[in-house]
Structure 1
Amino acid sequence: MKKYLLSFALAFMSLTAFAQADYEKIMTEKIAKTETCKTAEEFQTLANDFQRIGSKESSKWLPPYYAAFSQIQKGRLMMRNGNMDLDETAAQADKYLAMAQNLAGADNAEIHLLRKMAASLRMMVNPAQRYMTDGAKATEELAIAEKLDPSNPRIALIKAEDVYFTPEQYGGSKTKGMELFKDALAKFNAYKPKTALDPNWGKTEAEYFLSMQAK
């Protein structure tokens, strides 16, 4: 009887290890696509892929996190293309972030940073009307993220973007923004993600802005 129990335990461990390896492989492939998607439709497809992974790996926070990130990247691309119909995209990001936070806990800086980004998307639909609501929410979430993880380079990157793109009459500055991009890049160069699947996006964006300054 003990022999059978041992064989069962070993078989179960092998299956668990195989499933984990399969999860890590597909997540690695999908995370890489967050850097190569070029259209809103591609980001939507990627968000759907992460949602499906999350439905199978219901105890892991990273699939819904990346589903939310894909939605936010979709929204940012829409905005750059002049499409300001961002409410539904922000709502989808918030839905996934609620799932991720339920699994990871309230003290996850990466999730609070994406909450900030989702709130900023929603504010941009009508900045004059939404600054005191969604704008305040974005500021609050960014402050929480920075308090939880002050050395996080993605927090520095988003702060740099905010300063760079805000008009000077509202406190923005392209010069100061560039200095903050330098700070972000220094933090990226020193940063080590906890695992191979943990958030590690943003460095190429900091490098892109600094390359513009060099031209």
Structure 2
Amino acid sequence: MKKYLLTFALSLISLTAFAQTDYEKVMSDKIAKIENCKSLDEFQTLANDFDRIGKKETKEWLPAYYAAFVYIQKGRMLMRDGKMSELSAQANIAEKYLDQAESIAGKDNAEIHLLRKMSYSLKMMENPTERYMTDGMKAMEELRKAESLDPGNPRIALIKAEDTYFTPEQFGGSKTKGMEQFKDALAKFTTYSPKSKIAPNWGKAEAEYFINGAAK
């Protein structure tokens, strides 16, 4: 009987390990596609994929996190295309997924706070003059929370560099200072180790893009 129970326990462990490996492989494949998305439709398809994974893996926070990240990236693409009136809609969907991720991971998660910052910034950009004191302030507070939880996180340094670089000088921004912050972010990427193979690890390519672009 003891031998049977031991065999059953080992089999259960093996099945659990296999399921986890399968989950990580599917997630890795989807995560790898994010940087290669070239259209709104591609972002939407990927967001739907993460949503389906999250509904299956109900104890994992990363599917909802990446769904939120994809909607934020979709919003950024809309912003680059000048479709400012559509930013809040994408941010609102992202926040729904961030709520899901936080319900699993807890409130002390720097990566989730950083995405909340990016989401509030999207909302602010829909009408900066009217929304700076509301969504803009919320974005700054989320950034402070993220940095207090994980001060060495290169993605936090990257987003701070973006804010400095793109903010007009009359409002405290500076392209020169922003470029120095991009370099600082890139230096942090070289020493920062993600917590797992599928943990957030985005941003290095963006820092390199700005630094290499400025050098030309």
TM-score computed with the length of structure 2 as normaliser: 0.97
Q: Does 2:26 correspond to 1:26?
A: yes
Write the mapping of 1:137-148 to structure 2, written as runs, cut at 5 A.
Answer: 137-148=138-149
| 2:124 equivalent in structure 1 | 123
CA distance in 1, matches of 2:7, 2:110: 42
CA distance in 2, matches of 1:41, 1:173: 34
| 1:37 equivalent in structure 2 | 37
CA distance in 2, matches of 1:162, 1:6: 57
Moved beyond 6 Å, runs of 4+? none
CA-to-aligned-CA distance 1:110-146 (integer Å, 9 cap, x gap): 0000000000001111111111110000000001101
After superposition, the CA RMSD in angstroms is 0.9
| 2:110 equivalent in structure 1 | 109
| 2:209 equivalent in structure 1 | 208
Count, aligned residues: 215
SS state of the match for residue 58, structure 2?
coil
Residue 5 of structure 1 and its aligned partner are, at CA, apart by 2.5
CA distance in 2, matches of 1:163, 1:10: 54
Query: Which 5+ residue runs of structure 2 have no aligned equivalent?
Result: none
Query: Which 5+ residue runs of structure 1 have no aligned equivalent?
Result: none
Write the mapping of 1:68-107 to structure 2, written as runs, cut at 5 A.
Answer: 68-84=68-84, 85-107=86-108
Residue 6 of structure 1 and its aligned partner are, at CA, apart by 2.7
CA distance in 2, matches of 1:10, 1:188: 39
Identical amino acids, percent of aligned pairs: 70
Amino acid at match of 1:136: M
CA distance in 2, matches of 1:188, 1:14: 35
CA distance in 1, matches of 2:5, 2:38: 52
Residue 7 of structure 1 and its aligned partner are, at CA, apart by 3.0
CA distance in 2, matches of 1:146, 1:3: 51
CA distance in 1, matches of 2:18, 2:194: 23
TM-score computed with the length of structure 1 as normaliser: 0.97
| 1:163 equivalent in structure 2 | 164
| 2:173 equivalent in structure 1 | 172
| 2:57 equivalent in structure 1 | 57
Residue 58 of structure 1 and its aligned partner are, at CA, apart by 0.6
SS state of the match for residue 36, structure 1?
coil
SS state of the match for residue 98, structure 1?
helix
